[in-house]
Structure formats: structure tokens, C-alpha cells
Amino acid sequence: MAHAVLLVEDDKSIATVITEALRDDGFDVTRCESIAQRDVLLAERRFDVMLTDVVLEDGDGLASIEAVRAQAPDMPVIVLSAQNTLDTAVRASDSDAFEYFPKPFDLDELTQAVTQAVASRPASQDQVADDDDALPLIGRSPAMQGVFRMITRVLRNDLTVLITGESGTGKELVAEAIHELGSRKTGPFVAVNMAAIPHDLLESELFGHERGAFTGAVGQQIGKFEQANGGTLFLDEIGDMPAEAQTRLLRALQSGKIRRVGGRQEIGVDVRIVAATNRDLTPMISDGRFREDLYYRLNVVPIHLPPLRERREDIGALVRHFLGQAAAEGLPARQALSSGVEALEQRDWRGNVRELRNAVFRLALMARDDVIDRSAVEDVLPQSALDPNTGEKCGFEAAVEDWVEDVRPPDGTLYHAALAAFETPLFELALARTGGNQLRAARLLGINRNTLRKRLSELGIAPEDFGPRR
């Protein structure tokens, strides 16, 4: 579905140029000439972004912006003005405008700003229901605005992008945005997680294989490169790629051709590469774990996603988005009060946006009232395990200490006892996620299937207990 743009502009020639440019980029543009017409349209339908002139036939488009905020509080507003004065720029800034363009302006920059503004807006309830596990790209913080700006700069080209950031910040969503908003949107988007594939199967997964290439290769298989032909290949957790596969990937990037495992024919592929990692690749290059030449091939356009603790001002918008998402999934409808948002802003959020989403869903489920205030946050989300300022250990480290204190294993047995205690819930989780399928569970864990089978037997875990219920 095309994103809806409301253009409030009484200069017909300028309006025509803007309308045609935005429509060429796939936007659905509705134009009006006055404040009165604007308010009627805003009352009738939802728009993803509004462009408004300042001087209109029936008043000041900037002075009346409060009426716009009342009808569409989360809609980005881009201000256009022929009054190229500092006062106008300051007024636009004070109105919390998404962007300000003095006339005449660069049309390409304007369309990029519209794309960026659309990407910054929380999804509607209808959109949320279609993709309930997605982490939204939401944020008016300078850090996220920088991310949006970088995304818009790579939409009209096929430059390779390397996305960095901690787990849970939304790296795959950035990759999807680059694909869906760019010139390859009609092609496939293929994602592959390097950390989830056993090293001995990775090359086959990426490049495919011919029949008889190795034991178990009973037929020809098309790899991810060929599957992504004409579109985008997203290589997630690129830092976990083994050395031999790195060499083959570099060769494919240099030549634009791949060769299936066990095959002789070189196959041309047309794919855009977007890679991501939560690791710092620089020390990995220094100690020989990651090829320096591959790094430079991938790091053509770097995009860094900031951790949530560095953009706390975005937490309120994210909380409102997730509460709407939770309601769309059948959880009780809740409203976050400012005190509740402030309490959430004080948390560390080591798991970033993904952790915040889970916390908000928990609040939606367990809060006693329809509103979420500070007391609700403190009741449902105890601070002890999350507060980085208490000096107390938290998360996994705290769990290990608690286990040692409870079990008190004899001297000389701590390592093996702790390993067994950790493996059991880990293996059970992997089996639960894969419906008891040992091959898929082994791939998820990144270990050999025989190793998994041996440890399951030793720990007394029955895979069939995790299969589908009959």
C-alpha cells in the first residue's frame, strides 16, 4: 500500500512539481490549498506525512500547526516556505517540524525527507497486526534521525551496506527498509543468519550444491545467492562467518558470480548485499578471525544503530507503539502515563528495543489498571534485575550466583555441574522452538547433530516430548 501524503500548498506550479515527484516515488499524494481544506481532510482519513506551506490563502500554516497535532499527533510535518528568514526557521523548529525547506529547494532532498519521515512514524494498528514480531524504526532522537538519513541515502543505489549495533536494536528491520523502499523492492529479500547455520553447511546454504557434492546431497540445491537474484541478500551476524566461507564470499562479491558446492559452472548473480553484526570487527581483523579485504568490501556504507540507552527520548513513542501492538493482538488496551514512561526511561534495556517490547507486552497483560504509571512499572517489572545504577549484579551473572548459592556443588565439580544445569534448559528451549526436530535444534544451537543427540541422552531429555501435540 502506497504511503499517503497531504500537501498543503496554494502555489499550483510548485504543488504540481512536488506531487509528480512524490508520485514517481510511489507516494499517494492528496493536495489542498487552505487550512480549512487541510482540517477537513485530516478529519476524514489518516496521512503518513504532511507537507505545508507557511503563507496560505486563509492564514498561517505554521501558526495553526497545533490543530494538526490535535488530529494527528504522531504525523510528521515538513514545512515549506518562501519566507527565508531566521524567524521562520526558528518557528518551524519550535513547532517540532520534522524538516524545514526554504524555497527554492532541491526536489531530491525533499523526496528523501518524505521517505525518512514516513519511516519514522509508528505503524498503524492495521500495519501492526500484519507483522506482530517486527521491531519498529521509531524515533525523533538525533541518533535515529541520523539512521533515517543514512537509509534514505542508499535507496537509489546498490551500494553494499554494513549495519552495526547491539542485539535487539532492529538491524534486520533496517535491512528490510532499505529493500522495501529502494529500487529492488520488486525483487526477493532473503535473510540468512550466519550464527544459526553449522559451519560445515554454510557454504552450501549460501551458494547451493550439486547432487553428490557431499554425503547427504541427494539432489541439486539452490543457495541464498541465487534465491536473492534481482533483490537483496541480508547476511546477518557476519562476524560469525568461518574463514573459508569468508574467502568464497569475497570472491563472489568481487566477481558477481558464484559456484555451487561440487559444481564447475560459474553462475552470475545480481544481488544487493546488506550485512549486519553485533560484534566489533576491528579486533577480529587484528587477530585474523575476519578478513580485512572482506570488511572493506562490506563496509561501503556503514549504518550504526544506537542502543536504546543512548536514545531514551524515543522510549515514549516506542511504548505507545507497543501498547497499540499488544491491543491489536488481543491483550488489554492500556494507556501509558508520563510517570510510567519516565520509569521505563530510567531502565538500562540491555536487550534494547526487543527487550522493551517484551516488557511492554508484559505490562499490557499484567497491569491492574487501564493506565500504566510508575507504580505499575515497579510492580510488574522489578528494578532489582535491571538497574545498572544499584551496583548489584543482574541478568545472567546474577542467575549464576544464585544457582551456585542454592546448589553449592562440591569443590572440583562446579564447572561440569554448572554446564549441565545450563545445557538442560538451553536444549529444552531449542527443542521447543523447533518442535522436537533435532536437526533444526542443532542448527539453531550451532552444534553438530550427533553432539546434540549424545548430550540429550546423557541429560535424560526426550525430544519427542517437544513434538507437536496430537
What's the pLDDT tens digit per position in 230-261? 999 999 999 988 888 899 999 999 999 988 88
Of all residues in the chain, the percent with pLDDT exceeding 70 is 86
> Quick one: average pLDDT of 72-84?
81
Show the cell assigned to 456. Answer: 540429550
> Quick one: average pLDDT of 27-52?
90
pTM: 0.59
Nearest to 186 by CA among 302, 300, 270: 270
pLDDT value at residue 80: 87
Of all residues in the chain, the percent with pLDDT exceeding 90 is 33
User: pLDDT tens digits for 259-313?
Assistant: 888 788 889 999 999 999 999 999 999 989 999 999 999 999 999 999 999 999 9
How far the first Cα of the chain sits from its last, in Å, is 40
Angstrom CA distances, 197 to 83, 279, 405, 442, stand at 58, 17, 36, 9
Cβ-contact 210, 217 below 8 angstroms:
yes
pLDDT value at residue 383: 65
Whose cell is 538491524? That residue is 171
Q: Which CATH fold would you assign to the domain 4-121?
A: Rossmann fold (3.40.50)
Q: Which CATH fold would you assign to the domain 403-466?
A: Arc Repressor Mutant, subunit A (1.10.10)
Sorting pLDDT into bands at 50, 70 and 90, what band is 134? very low
Q: How many CB atoms lie within 10 A of CB 207?
A: 24
Cβ-contact 51, 7 below 8 angstroms:
yes
The three state secondary structure string of 28-80 is: EEEEECCHHHHHHHHHHCCCCEEEEECEECCEECCCCHHHHHHHCCCCCEEEE
> Amino acid identity, residue 267?
I
Tell me: pLDDT of 132 over 60: no
At 139 the three-state DSSP class reads coil
Cβ-contact 298, 250 below 8 angstroms:
no
pLDDT value at residue 121: 59
Domain boundaries, the chain: 4-121, 142-304, 308-385, 403-466
Sorting pLDDT into bands at 50, 70 and 90, what band is 394? low
Sorting pLDDT into bands at 50, 70 and 90, what band is 359? very high
Show the cell assigned to 258. Answer: 558464484
Of 6-15, 397-406, 426-435, the poorest mean pLDDT is in: 397-406
User: pLDDT tens digits for 404-454?
Assistant: 766 677 777 777 777 777 788 888 888 888 878 888 888 888 888 878 888
pLDDT value at residue 386: 44
Q: Are strands 257-258 and 267-268 parallel, antiparallel or unpaired?
A: antiparallel
Angstrom CA distances, 59 to 35, 69, 72, 452, stand at 7, 17, 20, 72
Of 71-85, 294-308, 393-407, the poorest mean pLDDT is in: 393-407
Of the two residues 290 and 219, the one the predictor is more confident about is 290
Sorting pLDDT into bands at 50, 70 and 90, what band is 73? confident
pLDDT value at residue 391: 44
At 169 the three-state DSSP class reads coil
**Chosen CATH of 308-385 out of 1.10.8.60, 3.40.50.720, 3.40.50.10440, 1.10.10.10:** 1.10.8.60
What is the rounded CA–CA span in Å between residue 231 and residue 138? 25
Mean per-residue pLDDT of the chain: 83
**Domains 4-121 and 403-466 in one fold:** no
Q: How many CB atoms lie within 10 A of CB 173?
A: 18
> Quick one: average pLDDT of 42-62?
88
User: pLDDT tens digits for 189-200?
Assistant: 999 998 888 887
pLDDT value at residue 388: 47
Residue 409 DSSP class:
P
CATH number of 142-304: 3.40.50.300
> Quick one: average pLDDT of 328-357?
91
